[in-house]
Amino acid sequence: MSHISPKSTYYAIFGALMALTALTVYVAFQHLGWLNFPVAISIAFLKASLVVLFFMHVKYSSKLTKLLVASTFFFLASLFGLTMTDYLSRGWLTSPRGTTTAGMLPKLQAAELPAVSAQALANPQPLFEATCGSCHSFTTKTAPTLAEIHDLYSNDVEKVVTWAKAPQRKRMRFEPMPSFAHLGDARLHALANYMLQQAAQTPPQ
């Protein structure tokens, strides 16, 4: 605390901070894609260290003070890091099959669809498990369960088919459902029938 810095040091640091602020603003208007954020934060860290070292006199303080300041920033970073492990991993594991709706969509659309044969339509279970069943089981927490769907539509197959072709988002606690129009009417009818039957037959636990 006893060190006295010349005024010129403070003016120089002030000038550096102003220049770096101008640089931050300039960079923010450049198209760097994902780099925009890291660059802005790096400049902010540089400015913060200038303030801590010179304006807060840490540069002229004892080693103990420096260690304390460093450990403070270490723990602050740890807490931010732990928070981010939660925040950034939200939605990684939302469906019972271990993928999000968005992650699943390309797989579902690319999946080889069984031919529309009488035989395949008579037993829609494999198709159901590859498509609707990924989210809509009896026990799912990520989408309305089969029982809920049955309660909503009772035996109206057409309404289920219409919804599957152009789903909306009624319940904000679920991720939006992708459209399954690409399955075609025949498969959708078989699926809707199958789902409503399953819900009617098997009582939910």
Partner 1 sequence: VILWMAKRKRFSPEWYTPVEMAGLYWHFVDIVWIFLFPLLYLVDRAHQVQ
Q: Assess 56 for contact with partner 1 (CB under 8 A).
A: yes
Cβ–Cβ < 8 Å for 92, 100 = yes
d(CA 5, CA 2): 10
d(CA 195, CA 145): 10
Shortest distance, CB of residue 87 to partner 1, whole angstroms? Answer: 15
Q: Assess 41 for contact with partner 1 (CB under 8 A).
A: yes
Nearer CB in complex with partner 1: 44/105? 44
| Residues from 94 through 113 that contact partner 1 (CB under 8 A) | none
Query: Of 44-52, 93-101, 104-112, 189-197, which segment contacts partner 1 by CB under 8 A?
Result: 44-52
d(CA 63, CA 71): 12
Q: Is 157 helix (H, G, I), strand (E, B) or coil?
A: helix
The burial of 161, by beta-carbon neighbours within 10 Å (0-12 exposed, 13-18 middle, 19 or more buried), is given as buried
d(CA 192, CA 94): 23
Nearer CB in complex with partner 1: 76/102? 76
d(CA 18, CA 29): 17
Q: Assess 29 for contact with partner 1 (CB under 8 A).
A: yes
Question: Which residue of 12, 19, 25, 68 would you call a contact of partner 1, by CB under 8 A?
Answer: 25
Question: Rg of the Cα trace of the chain?
Answer: 29
Task: Tell me, residue by residue from 149 to 188, as one string, x for binding to partner 1 by CB under 8 A and - for no binding.
Answer: ----------------------------------------
Q: Assess 14 for contact with partner 1 (CB under 8 A).
A: no
Q: Assess 47 for contact with partner 1 (CB under 8 A).
A: yes
d(CA 168, CA 21): 45
Nearer CB in complex with partner 1: 23/113? 23
Tell me which residues touch partner 1 (CB under 8 A).
1, 21, 24-25, 28-32, 36-37, 40-41, 43-44, 47-48, 51-52, 55-56
